[in-house]
Every structure is written in structure tokens, then in C-alpha cells.
Amino acid sequence: MNTVRRKRLTFGRGFRVVLANRRAEAAVMVISPGDAEGDARNRHRGADQWLFVVSGTGLATVNERRYRLGKDVLLLIERGDRHEIRNTGTIPLTTLNFYAPPAYTKVGNTLPAGRRS
């Protein structure tokens, strides 16, 4: 029988893995106004990323196409997609992200494709 895990989320600065198992993980990310995470070379070789905007506004560039981000928007970034998330607003861009399978170690380092922490 699996153990149910529950966590109250807090959104500080930066990126942090908050809950994970062998098949998926959840992370919170807060980007300050004018800042960005990732770049034209950034990609997750072995994981899909589901990004949900909790608050703020931004712009996602995925495989050179741009998508507007705002509260309650859900974006799927598939494994291998090159992407950048940029805060274009005046308040922090706060997101909840899910990766399947996990893309990061518990301390936030990128996992190689097909590896588990």
C-alpha cells in the first residue's frame, strides 16, 4: 500500500522541488519581474513539464514560439522542447510545475534523461 503524502506549499524566490516519487515530481518556481528561467538551449531530455501559473504574467518561449502566461494558465512543455519562461509583469511570476518522470534531484540539480534521484 502506498503512503499518501501531503504538503502545504509556500512560494519563495527561485525554484524548489516540493514533493516527488519515482514517477513524477512537483516544484514551485517564482520569477522576479524582468527575470527569466531557462534560455534557448534549456530543455528536459527525459521529462514532460506541466506549468501552472498561480499569479503574475509572463511569456513562455517554446521551440521559438511565444505563448502568453497569466493567472490560471496551464502550459505543457514536452520532453525535449527548448524553452524559456520570462516574467513580463510588475509582480513575481509564481508557478506550480509537475515533471513526469522527475527532471530534478531533491536539491534542484538536473537529472540526466532516464535517471531517478
Alpha-carbon distance of 82 to 25, in angstroms, equals: 20
pLDDT tens across 62-74, in order?
Answer: 999 999 999 999 9
Cβ atoms of 86 and 61 within 8 Å: the answer is yes
Predicted confidence (pLDDT) per residue in 17-33, tens digit: 999 999 999 999 999 99
Does 54 fall in a domain?
A: yes
Residue 23 CB coordination number (10 Å): 9
Structurally, how many domains does the chain consist of?
Answer: 1
Does residue 90 belong to any structural domain of this protein? Answer: yes
Q: Name the CA dihedral angle for 30, 36, 42, 45, rounded to a multiple of 10 degrees.
A: 20
Question: What global pTM score does this model have?
Answer: 0.90
Does the residue 110 lie in any domain? no
Q: What whole-number distance in Å separates Cα of residue 16 and Cα of residue 103? A: 12
Give me the domain span that covers residue 84: 14-94
The enclosing domain of 29 has a CATH number of 2.60.120.10
